[in-house]
């Protein structure tokens, strides 16, 4: 083995990646070659420094939450053919669009606004876009909307009741940009859309479609629309708590 061979193999030698025969041949050369031994030392030092000093980035807890949510949404779709092994990812995306479209267009008896909110909810769980701002802190989420919307949604904390706020998102509903707050209940998510009312009040009636619940109401000039796949009782509890906690705002506030 000559100097060039050794110099080519030194890294793999240090990494313990050489087979026994090559390893022995290399050590034999090293034993009789001062300059290659020095190279080895320098490399050893370098690798030790790289491995011990280079900072390693760690995933934030929110990333884990986001991925859980995205994976959960991926798996919980009510269409059975979604999960078939032979399906290509592209077909899965098509299935999503069909589902969203299905909810949107094929739901007699459900007002278009509610259908649209349900479709937004499904889409938010699907397209790796549950949250634009991930925070459990209402004082982080509320200012985040400033500058993105021409109104300021009231952000209520329900963590003590078991419905922690986990983030916010801009979405489109009723032909305008709206604030979407995302709450979690166990492994389920609730989208709460909030936007200024410029028409008749929402009727406060519960709609059910494909396991999704939706309920809209109007208070202090703001429309609220909650959508979730939560069970009916838990969903109703959530809505009640939001309604109780949303205080009357004075004009100009």
Partner 1 sequence: MSEQHHDGRGNLSPPEFEQVFLPHLDAAYNLARWLLRNDQDAEDAVQEAYLRACKAFPRFRGGDGKAWLMTILRNVCFTMIKRSRSHEKPEPFDEEIHQAAGQSDLREAFRQQANAETLRSALEKLPDEFREIIVLHDLEGLAYKQIAVTIGIPIGTVMSRLARARARLRVELITSNVRQSSP
**Most distant CA atoms of the chain, gap in Å:** 92
User: Which tokens belong to 132?
Assistant: 């634009």
Helix (H) / strand (E) containing 91: helix 89-105
**Shortest distance (Å) from residue 18 CB to partner 1:** 9
For partner 1, which is the closer residue by CB, 72 or 245?
72
User: Which tokens belong to 245?
Assistant: 């906690």
Dist. CA 207–CA 195, nearest whole Å: 19
**Shortest distance (Å) from residue 132 CB to partner 1:** 10
For partner 1, which is the closer residue by CB, 41 or 137?
41
For partner 1, which is the closer residue by CB, 71 or 247?
71
For partner 1, which is the closer residue by CB, 51 or 233?
51
**Shortest distance (Å) from residue 169 CB to partner 1:** 14
User: Which tokens belong to 65?
Assistant: 């939450």
For partner 1, which is the closer residue by CB, 84 or 250?
84
**Shortest distance (Å) from residue 237 CB to partner 1:** 27
Residue 38 Cα to chain centre, angstroms: 51
| Adjacent-strand bridge partners of 235 | none
List contacts with partner 1 (CB under 8 A).
8-12, 15, 17, 42-43, 45-47, 49-51, 53-60, 63-64, 66-68, 70-71, 74-75, 83-86, 89, 92, 128
Query: Positive or negative, the Cα torsion across 241, 246, 188, 88?
Result: positive
State the Cα angle at 40 between 37 and 42, rounded to 5°.
115
**Shortest distance (Å) from residue 1 CB to partner 1:** 15
């Amino acid at each position: 083995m000559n100097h060039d061979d050794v110099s080519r193999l030194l890294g793999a030698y240090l990494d313990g990646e050489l087979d026994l025969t090559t390893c022995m041949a290399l050590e034999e050369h090293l034993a009789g070659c001062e300059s290659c031994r020095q190279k080895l030392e320098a490399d050893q030092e370098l690798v030790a420094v790289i491995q011990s000093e280079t900072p390693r980035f760690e995933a934030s807890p929110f990333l884990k939450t986001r991925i859980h949510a995205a994976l959960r949404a991926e798996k919980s779709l009510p269409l059975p053919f979604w999960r078939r092994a032979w399906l290509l990812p592209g077909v899965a995306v098509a299935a999503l669009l069909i589902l969203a479209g299905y909810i949107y267009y094929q739901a007699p008896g459900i007002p278009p606004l509610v259908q649209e909110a349900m479709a937004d909810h499904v889409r938010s769980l699907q397209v790796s876009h549950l949250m634009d701002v991930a925070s459990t802190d209402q004082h982080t989420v509320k200012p985040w909307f400033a500058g993105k919307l021409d109104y300021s949604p009231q952000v209520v904390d329900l963590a003590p009741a078991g419905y922690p706020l986990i983030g916010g998102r801009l979405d489109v509903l009723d032909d305008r940009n709206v604030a979407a707050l995302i709450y979690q209940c166990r492994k389920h998510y609730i989208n709460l859309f909030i936007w200024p009312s410029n028409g008749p009040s929402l009727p406060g009636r519960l709609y059910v479609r494909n396991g999704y619940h939706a309920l809209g109401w109007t208070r202090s000039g703001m429309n609220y629309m909650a959508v979730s796949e939560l069970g009916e009782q838990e969903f109703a509890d959530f809505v009640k708590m939001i309604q109780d906690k949303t205080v009357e705002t004075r004009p100009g506030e």
